[in-house]
Structure 1
Amino acid sequence: MSPRSAVHATFVIEKHYPATPERVFAAFADPKLKARWFVGPSEWGPSEHRVDFRVGGRELNAGGPAEGPKHRFDALYQDIVPNERIVFTYDMHLDANRISVSLTTIEFAPADGGTALKFTEQGVFLDGYDDAGSREHGTRLLLDQLGAALAHGDAAH
């Protein structure tokens, strides 16, 4: 076992999408739409994904490469303001190891004929399994996948 540690960090990602706030929000809120972009790399194969999008609802996304380890995202929705804000807490696991616990706020605002999205994550990264730089990189990849889904109509109503 590695030495115990708790490293705190915050990162902010700002993106612009050429879609309305309603459409971008729906890509997070509608389980079928979210499943089109909130996925791991293609070599991981299919993942388990369940969403109960409401205050007090949970979201689970679990998967990974065939040879392991299994990655598990387990979230609890704390606050939802339709088309404006989503706040959730979540923890990440690699197999049986909890690697982080985070508070995330996603804000949506009309801007330049589309949506300004602000993604703020405050996390504690545990026991050296993960770090804020890696998490920010992975989050940027997911938000790029969201952009591609919106551009191709994959995240449309």
Structure 2
Amino acid sequence: MVSKHFATHDTFVIERNYGAAPARVFAAWSDPAAKSKWFPKAEAFEFRVGGREFNRGGPPGGPVYTFDACYQEIVPNERIVYSYTMDQGDVRISVSVTTVEFKETEQGTKLIYTEQGVFLDGHDTAAQREHGTKIMLDKLGEELPDMFEPEKTQ
């Protein structure tokens, strides 16, 4: 009997440059109201080491996806590391470890998003996940200028 179960391991890296300071880009990830402007709104959001972020959603009439993350490390304004599972309906489709780095540049922030995943039984692929993540990071870039009150100058 041949098993229909298999695991595909893969890693992808996405880099984005944003015209905002690392503290503002970091806040777009750490503040639930700000994050909900570019990422599906969380049902649970505990931004602390050991804390959980949980949401469910999907396209109208389409499958329901469940994102269930646990924050592993947080270095304010520099790095976030979290592990997460992704389910489609009742089927686990992947398990990942993600690192988001915030590097100061002359123009603002270089964000480096690295995801190391195991994609299960052909339900998802790194290429599909990378495509969706790029869309979300582009949305972050669109929302970032209006996300917070203008920084006050001294």
Given the two structures, how large is their TM-score scaled by the length of structure 1? 0.89
Task: Indicate whether 1:144 and 2:138 are aligned.
Answer: yes
- The alignment partner of 2:10 has SS state of strand
Answer whether contact 1:85 1:107 (CA < 8 A) is retained.
yes
Deviation of residue 50 (structure 1)? 2.3
Taking every aligned residue pair, what percent have the same amino acid on both sides?
56
Q: Which structure has the larger Rg over C-alpha atoms? A: 2
Distance 2:78 2:118 in 1: 26
**1:60 matched to 2:74:** no
Aligned to 2:8: 7
Contact 1:11 1:122 in 2 (8 A): yes
Amino acid at match of 1:9: D
TM-score by length of 2: 0.91
Moved over 4 A (4+): none
Distance 2:106 2:127 in 1: 29
Paired letter, 1:15: R
Question: May I ask how many residue pairs the two structures share in their alignment?
Answer: 147
RMSD: 1.4
Structure 2 unaligned spans of 5+:
150-154
Structure 1 residue ranges without an equivalent (≥5): 40-46
* Deviation at residue 48 of structure 1 after TM alignment: 5.2
Whether the 8 Å CA contact 1:48–1:63 is kept in 2: the answer is no
